[in-house]
Amino acid sequence: MRIIPAIDIIDGKCVRLSKGDYSTKKIYNEHPLEVAKAFEYHGIKYLHLVDLDGAKSKHIVNYKVLETIAKQTNLKIDFGGGIKSDEDISIAFSSGAQQVTGGSIAVNQPELFLEWLKTFGAEKIILGADYHHRKIAINGWQENAHIDVLDFIKQFENHGVKYVIGTDISKDGMLAGASEDVYEEILKNSKINLIASGGVSSISDVLRMKSIGCEGSIIGKAIYEGKISLQELQNLC
């Protein structure tokens, strides 16, 4: 299973939110590159980089942070937040992203998302399935799309999607454990590579995601709050 630390960006700084609420913003480091280099130093190979300004603005904003980290580390970066147009996705890939995650765009403009899937390939395009009480949320988690998460994933799996990041918004940043039941249901009813996100609070949570069959586990606040050490993650890499 891939170990994937997260860096969320607002105003170029490394932050975390609780349940996607921008008013709960907490700044952990004003220099995301420092954080990324610490991950790499401890043997971590992957990074989940989210442009929270972009998610709210509906267009890519913090691509310079992506570019800096991509140029100065060897981390394989999946990038999301504000990818809403051909120009946005072009900027993301040209700035160094290895994979791009699209969530809102898959709801609002599914034809465009599927065109990206065809153009860039299923290894490059991740479906972002962010949900609250099983319903898909879009536009920086500010709106409810009224689509069940499993139905949403199955719809795009049928069109060739291979990778899905599943984020339970009610657990994100809460350090209260991951959404195991939903992940198990998704894995039972599909063949996608599921990357679990939201709620991880300890190494035991990470190992649980591995045991139920997740392809990757995204870890955010647990690292920044000292609940999981980089040394512990290094031992799993």
Domain ranges of the chain: 2-234
Check if 78 is active-site: no
For the entire predicted model, the pTM comes to: 0.93
Q: Tell me how far the alpha carbon of residue 52 is from its chain's centroid.
A: 11
Asked if pLDDT for residue 140 goes beyond 70, the answer is: no
Check if 8 is active-site: yes
Q: What is the mean pLDDT of the chain?
A: 92
Q: Which of 51, 88, 130, 205 is catalytic?
A: 130
- Fill in the DSSP letter of residue 31: -
CB 16 within 8 A of CB 27: no
- Fill in the DSSP letter of residue 236: T
pLDDT class for 118, splitting at 50, 70, 90?
very high
Classify each residue of 156-177 as buried b or exposed e, where b means 16 or more C-beta atoms within 10 Å of its C-beta: bbeeebbbbbbbbbebbbebeb
Residue 138 confidence (pLDDT):
74
Asked if pLDDT for residue 143 goes beyond 70, the answer is: no
Which CATH code fits 2-234? Answer: 3.20.20.70
CA angle 56, 215, 77 (to 5 degrees): 45
CA angle 226, 45, 153 (to 5 degrees): 90
Asked if pLDDT for residue 20 goes beyond 80, the answer is: no
